[in-house]
Structures are given as structure tokens and as C-alpha cells.
Amino acid sequence: MERIQRMTRQKKIILDILRSVKTHPTAEWIYQEARQQIPGLSLGTVYRNLNLLRDNGEIMELNYGSSQSHFDGTAANHYHFQCRECGGVYDLDLPLIKNIETKASGINGHQIDGHRLEFYGICEACLDRRRFEEND
């Protein structure tokens, strides 16, 4: 027996914000943005709605490599890059690796139904800032 979900103003605004940005912000960042439209919004509401949207398969939660989770308005699998310096998460337009799950299944007894690939390094913006700072 599944619960009926309502599209509240809060949930809609949260989803709109997430769909409108190219980056993958944290709950806290989304909270600060949404408060410009709903000043009395509470952070708990942001977390609750993000979890609902994730459970519905409407958004993706990216939760490794740093303390806070990042959220991605696109639900289909794709790959990401995270900056070791600023923690920012960016999309990486690399095609999905085909058959890798089948290949991985073949060598053990686990049932594999998903994979995730993340890259790490220094992002373009942090590289630029470094170059600027060393020219003093």
C-alpha cells in the first residue's frame, strides 16, 4: 500500500532549483536558494523532500567522497568529477561503459544491477585560481 504523495510548493521549488542548475549542490545550498522564495522554509523539509524525490527516482543522490551529499537533477546514470580542493561536483560527458556490470557479475556470485564511476582531481576553476595566485 503506497502512500499518496502531494506536490507541495516546497517540493516543487526544490525540484525546480535542482533541475535549473548544472552543478550538483548540497542540501544546505538548495535550502539557501529556496529560502529566497519561501523565507520560512526549514532545512528538515529540504532533506525530507530530497529523499522523497530520490526514492521516486526523480533525482539522484551522490553521497561519497565528502561529508555532505550532493544532489543531481538527472536520474539516469552518468559519471561525475569531484574537485579535491573545493569539493564541487561536475558532470562528465563520458559515454556509459557498456556491459561492465555483466562483466563484473561474471567473476563472482553477486547480483549486480548498477555501477557508479567518479573521477577526482582539481577542477578548472581551482586551477585558474592557483595560476592567478602564483603570479603575485
Partner DNA sequence: ATCAAATTAGTAATGATTATTCATAAGGAT
Partner DNA sequence: ATCCTTATGAATAATCATTACTAATTTGAT
Binding site for a copy of itself (CB under 8 A): 61-67, 69, 79, 81, 83, 90, 92-94, 97, 101, 103-104, 107-124, 127
Size of the site for DNA (CB under 7 A): 30
The alpha carbon of residue 126 and the mean position of all alpha carbons in its chain are separated, in whole angstroms, by 20
CA distance 20 to 52: 19
Cβ neighbourhood burial of 59 (10 Å; 0-12, 13-18, 19+) = buried
* Min CB(55)–DNA separation in Å: 11
Non-local CB neighbours of 121 within 8 Å, separated by 6+ positions: 81, 83, 84
Of residues 39-98, which lie at the interface with DNA (CB under 7 A)? Answer: 40-45, 47-49, 51-52, 63, 65-69
* Residue ranges in contact with DNA by CB under 7 A: 3-11, 26-28, 38, 40-45, 47-49, 51-52, 63, 65-69
